[in-house]
Amino acid sequence: MGDIIVSMEHISKSFPGVKALEDVNLELRSGEVMALLGENGAGKSTLMKILSGVYTRDSGILHIFGKEYGNFTPKEVQKAGVAIIHQELNMCRHLSVAENMFLGREIIGKVVLNNSEMESEAQKYLDELGVSISPKQTVGDLPLAQQQMIEIAKALSIHARVLIMDEPTSSLTSREIAELFRIICKLKEQGCGIIYISHRLEELSYIADRVTIMRDGQYITSGNFKDFTMDEIIENMVGREIKEKFPRVQCEKGRKIFEVKNLNAGRLVRDINFSLYEGEIVGFAGLVGAGRTETTRAVFGVDPKASGQIYLDGEEVKIRCPADAIKAGIVLAPEDRKKDGLCTKLSIRDNLTLPNLDIVCNKAGIINKKAEEELCNKAINDLSIKTPNVEVDANTLSGGNQQKVVVGKWLVRNSKVVIFDEPTRGIDVGAKVEIYNLMNKLKQQGIAVMFISSEMPEVMGIADRIIVMCDGKITGELMAKDATQNQILTYATAFENKVGQNSGREEN
Amino acid sequence: MIKKQNELKKFWKIRGMGAALTAFIGLIVIYIAFGLINPMVFSGQNILNLLRSMSKYLLIGVAQSCVMITGNIDLSLGSLVGMSAMIVATLMVSGVPVIAAIFITLLCGIAIGILNGLLVGKFKLPPFIATLGTMFVARGIAYMVNNNRNTDNIGIKLGKGSADAFQQFFYYGKTAGIYNTFWISLILFIAFFFLLSKTRTGRHIYAIGSNVEASKLSGVDVVRTTIKTYIFSSVCAVIVGFILCAQAGMGNMEAGNMYEMYGVAAGVIGGVSPLGGSGLLLGTFAGAAVWQTLENGLNMIGAQVGIQRIVIGIIVVLAVLMDVVIRSGKKIKIANKSTK
């Protein structure tokens, strides 16, 4: 292992009313990937924001390449050789690739910007990464995975030797993840140190050299990745033993509740047929972009349907807009919490009542405070949402609790079908189990649960029946107890022959 | 030949060029349509007048566009026009030499610009509110400069020569056969065009309009860039104040009323996004020209003022509506691509 390039000792940081970090230590060596692990709210992001100069620490010592630093600005951090690749990619969508890479440190010719030099410099670093992106392209037109590559190229171009990657794989397809790992290995060989934050523990074995584990703003332990078992890591993160990662409840399979027939909507929803039964969870597996989200959107009436029928309790229902679906008792907890699931600037109370105003309002449309309060309390108790009170803004909650609010706002209605789209994305192990328990509870209550997930162990662990989609079509269906990863993957990659060669992921 | 094609393609590909060119095409169509109804529209004198009267919209449009590209808005522009017209006129009436009067007025305008920039950039006030405040303040100053009276006859103390020079320079004089007013605005337009497309400050203006957070993390000084932009817009407004003062030969307390909105309209017709991050000043040029051609043309064919307003309102909404429709079509295409 190389020299220590970053060392943070006894770092503490408080926000008004909260102690975010208490006496935290972290060490990074050159040429290694150090996985920084912990549940949401453990303080990983705060620690990284201190390292990248966004927050100033209250106390503690920070060395980068042996040099001690006091308080510094993001610009000074860049100079010191630290770059952060944000989870929610921070790019100017309207600007070109080269413009983004050189933002804040533009190359000036005699008087004016030297665009051609910036473009050729950018090209150099993009080539170094082996990605085919033109520096002239507008960033907003590129898919997320490529935007991430640009951020990495940008980090290289400022000669960063310390890279912080915050959940870099959360929105990538498996092929893109492989590409990312290849680049991480390359960076490692060049002697960069990488701090890697991820909730997908299964991917650590491919890249992590060492781990540092945090919990509740405190440093717990660190060591070589090889010396830990996965269970030990989880135990250290959660602070308790998680007996069952995938709790399972057996239920009698009942009558057919919901049926979709010959649904077509755009290129990614082609001739979809499936049914949901009482007392079972149906998992939808597939690669990112297989059309699963599009299917839910078409079912829920967000996107227009080209053709197809939807039956609920044997009767056809016409769904033209989400309001129709909600009225019929079909609800959707969408994929992107912050974008589609919550009004992040509104309070928990407002979020919980928003789709239920018909219940809490009287005929004149005036909100009945008492009914509203009852409804919120019920949701908070039923789902054990951890929040100081119902008046706080939704975005102050941790990811897991936000997800519970998204789900909770639907469960106070008497829904018949609940659709979860990637409900556990970006939330920690403990919160995941709570979401699973919630789905199991719905299943026991006789509600049909449709559950989309790109994480195969999760689908296999929670669903009773698995439907696999690929390229807008259902390519396979199997019972979870008989399913193997290989089999699911075979279905998930069953592209039609004519598109098998080039699945259209290429942009150009 | 191939190279030429590539150049052309490159030209098309510049962000915002589509909207700007559409506005130019619209401009030509409107102009020809009016000309067919009343051939006087094509007359040389009318073209000269058109260029002169579009100049103030062009300057205000450039001012507002720069601010809109940063994702903000400047509602104080119209009041600033009035304020500077009053200040410059009153200074001249009280015997301050023309050059000094111009200089002092510019400083006053810049002060308001810095105030706007600080309120929005440093104290994070919503730009709509901050500049609404300075809008009232600036108009109030316009009223107070000469004790609630317009300032008449700017030549009274300096003598006719100085006042004439001022009026000639900003409004009545011609250089190379075209009114000075147009040259002034054209020079400023080119300067700002250059600033936005070729300089670091310009790049930062686009960047903070596109994503403030990313810009900050990239080391862009957001506060300074915001202040700079508001100074630019204020300077443009002050110059429009000079033009109006020179035109009337007096300072009018109500000068520039509603101009800030004309600026928004000129920018928006030309494809500048009020949400920030995109737009070309070339579009603003077309937008200002469309605006003035409509006003001029409707006038020449004898339409009532009411009709003029309605037509202009419809055009503004249509321009943005078109943009929204094109964009949402594009977005769906991209979404399909990236989910694949």
The verdict on A87 touching B (C-beta cutoff 8 Å) is: no
pLDDT recorded at residue B65? 96
What is the overall mean pLDDT for chain B? 88
Per-residue pLDDT, averaged over A7-28, amounts to: 84
**Contact (CB<8Å) B277/A92:** yes
DSSP E strands in A90-171: the ranges are 162-166
Q: Which chain A residue shows the shortest CA-CA distance from B10?
A: A136
Based on the domain organization, do A230 and A307 belong to the same domain? no
Residue whose C-alpha is closest to residue A344's, from A390, A283, A379, A395: A395
Tell whether A244 is covered by a domain.
no
Tell whether A230 is covered by a domain.
yes
Which of A90, A106, A267 lies closest to B214 in CB terms?
A: A90
Number of domains in chain A: 2
- Cβ pairs bridging A and B (under 8 Å): 93
Tell whether A280 is covered by a domain.
yes
Which range is most confident: A233-237, A352-356, B10-14, B251-255? B251-255
The verdict on A103 touching B (C-beta cutoff 8 Å) is: yes
Q: With contact defined as beta carbons under 8 Å apart, do A466 and A458 qualify?
A: no
Based on the domain organization, do A286 and A184 belong to the same domain? no
- The span from the CA of B126 to the CA of B136, in Å, is 16
Per residue in B143-180, pLDDT (tens digit) is 999 988 898 888 888 878 888 889 999 999 999 999 99
Name the least confident of A13-27, A111-125, A238-252, B247-261: A238-252
Tell whether B7 is covered by a domain.
no
Name the least confident of A173-177, A255-259, A302-306, B1-5: B1-5
Judged against a pLDDT cut of 90, whether residue A498 lies above it is answered with no
**Contact (CB<8Å) A92/B340:** no
Based on the domain organization, do A106 and A201 belong to the same domain? yes
Residue whose C-alpha is closest to residue A435's, from A383, A372, A398, A486: A383
Per-residue pLDDT, averaged over B194-221, amounts to: 88
What residue has token string 């019920």?
Answer: A378
Based on the domain organization, do A25 and A96 belong to the same domain? yes
Q: Which chain B residue shows the shortest CA-CA distance from A115?
A: B198
Tell whether B311 is covered by a domain.
no
pLDDT recorded at residue B10? 65
Print the domain residue range for B69.
Answer: 51-278
Per-residue pLDDT, averaged over B1-29, amounts to: 73
Which of A52, A103, A507 lies closest to B215 in CB terms?
A: A103
Residue whose C-alpha is closest to residue B260's, from B111, B61, B72: B61
Number of domains in chain B: 1
Most A CBs within 10 A among B211, B216, B223, B272, hence the mutation to make, goes to B211
Q: With contact defined as beta carbons under 8 Å apart, do A159 and A81 qualify?
A: yes
Tell whether A53 is covered by a domain.
yes
pLDDT recorded at residue A507? 39
Tell whether A130 is covered by a domain.
yes
Order of strands, sheet of A307-312, starting from the edge strand that comes earlier in the sequence = A272-277, A256-264, A307-312, A315-317
The verdict on B336 touching A (C-beta cutoff 8 Å) is: yes
Per residue in A35-79, pLDDT (tens digit) is 998 876 678 888 888 888 888 888 888 888 888 888 888 778 888
SS3 A432: helix
Per residue in B81-112, pLDDT (tens digit) is 999 999 999 999 988 999 999 999 999 999 99
Based on the domain organization, do A260 and A126 belong to the same domain? no
Residues of A in contact with B209 (CB under 8 A): 94
Q: Are strands A4-15 and A18-29 parallel, antiparallel or unpaired?
A: antiparallel
Residues of A in contact with B18 (CB under 8 A): none
Judged against a pLDDT cut of 90, whether residue A406 lies above it is answered with no
Based on the domain organization, do A209 and A165 belong to the same domain? yes
Per-residue pLDDT, averaged over A388-415, amounts to: 80
pLDDT recorded at residue B335? 47
The verdict on A367 touching B (C-beta cutoff 8 Å) is: no
Based on the domain organization, do A67 and A23 belong to the same domain? yes
Judged against a pLDDT cut of 60, whether residue A505 lies above it is answered with no
Name the least confident of A62-66, A345-349, A416-420, B100-104: A345-349
Based on the domain organization, do A16 and A71 belong to the same domain? yes
Judged against a pLDDT cut of 50, whether residue A499 lies above it is answered with no
Based on the domain organization, do A164 and A267 belong to the same domain? no
Question: Higher-confidence residue: B48 or A497?
Answer: B48
pLDDT recorded at residue B339? 42
Tell whether A401 is covered by a domain.
no
- The span from the CA of B18 to the CA of B323, in Å, is 10
What is the overall mean pLDDT for chain A? 84
The verdict on A479 touching B (C-beta cutoff 8 Å) is: no
Name the least confident of A141-150, A270-279, A312-321: A141-150
What residue has token string 């301050």?
Answer: B96
Based on the domain organization, do A74 and A222 belong to the same domain? yes
Tell whether B14 is covered by a domain.
no
Give the closest-approach CA distance of B152 to chain A in angstroms: 44
Judged against a pLDDT cut of 80, whether residue B337 lies above it is answered with no
Report A:142-171 residues touching B (Cβ under 8 A): 143-144
Judged against a pLDDT cut of 80, whether residue A354 lies above it is answered with yes
Judged against a pLDDT cut of 80, whether residue A477 lies above it is answered with yes
pLDDT recorded at residue A490? 82
Per residue in A302-330, pLDDT (tens digit) is 888 888 999 998 889 988 888 888 888 88
The verdict on A93 touching B (C-beta cutoff 8 Å) is: yes
Give the closest-approach CA distance of A428 to chain B in angstroms: 25
Based on the domain organization, do A232 and A323 belong to the same domain? no
Most B CBs within 10 A among A95, A339, A508, hence the mutation to make, goes to A95
Per residue in A425-444, pLDDT (tens digit) is 777 777 888 888 888 888 88
CATH no. for residue A428? 3.40.50.300
The verdict on A134 touching B (C-beta cutoff 8 Å) is: no
Q: With contact defined as beta carbons under 8 Å apart, do A207 and A225 qualify?
A: no
What stretches of A43-141 show up as alpha helix (H) in DSSP? 44-51, 74-80, 97-101, 115-129
Beta carbons within 8 Å of B204's beta carbon, 6+ residues apart: A103, A104, B215, B220, B221, B225
Most A CBs within 10 A among B197, B198, B199, B218, hence the mutation to make, goes to B218
Please spell the DSSP secondary structure of B202-260, one letter per residue: HHHHHHHHH-HHHHHHTT--HHHHHHHHHHHHHHHHHHHHHHHHHHHTSB-TTTTTTHH
Prediction ipTM score: 0.76
Judged against a pLDDT cut of 80, whether residue A289 lies above it is answered with no
Question: Higher-confidence residue: B331 or A227?
Answer: A227
DSSP secondary structure letter of residue B149: S
Tell whether B4 is covered by a domain.
no
Give the closest-approach CA distance of A112 to chain B in angstroms: 5
Based on the domain organization, do A187 and A225 belong to the same domain? yes
Name the least confident of A288-292, B101-105, B113-117: A288-292
Per residue in A212-250, pLDDT (tens digit) is 998 888 888 888 988 888 888 888 887 766 667 788 888
Separation in Å, CA A478 to CA A260, A456, A469, B224: 18, 13, 12, 60
A381 class by beta-carbon count within 10 Å (0-12 exposed, 13-18 middle, 19+ buried): exposed
**Contact (CB<8Å) A75/B214:** no
Instruction: Give, for A282, the enclosing helix (H) or strand (E).
Output: strand A281-285
Global model pTM greater than 0.80: no
**Contact (CB<8Å) B203/A103:** yes
Separation in Å, CA A358 to CA A258, A312, A323, A327, A415: 24, 22, 11, 10, 14
pLDDT recorded at residue A241? 63
Residue whose C-alpha is closest to residue B257's, from B136, B340, B125, B167: B136
Percent composition of chain A: helix, strand, coil (DSSP 3-state, to 5): 35, 25, 35
Tell whether B305 is covered by a domain.
no
pLDDT recorded at residue A110? 78
Q: Which chain B residue shows the shortest CA-CA distance from A146?
A: B338
- The span from the CA of A299 to the CA of A309, in Å, is 9
Tell whether A147 is covered by a domain.
yes
**Contact (CB<8Å) A143/B337:** yes
Print the domain residue range for A287.
Answer: 255-329+418-501
pLDDT recorded at residue A366? 83
Sign of CA dihedral A281, A285, A291, A294: positive
Tell whether A197 is covered by a domain.
yes
Question: Higher-confidence residue: B106 or A155?
Answer: B106
Residue whose C-alpha is closest to residue A54's, from A92, A82, A28, A88: A82
Judged against a pLDDT cut of 90, whether residue B17 lies above it is answered with no
Tell whether B13 is covered by a domain.
no
- Buried-exposed string A488-504: b where 16+ CB fall within 10 A, e elsewhere: bbebbbebeeeeeeebe
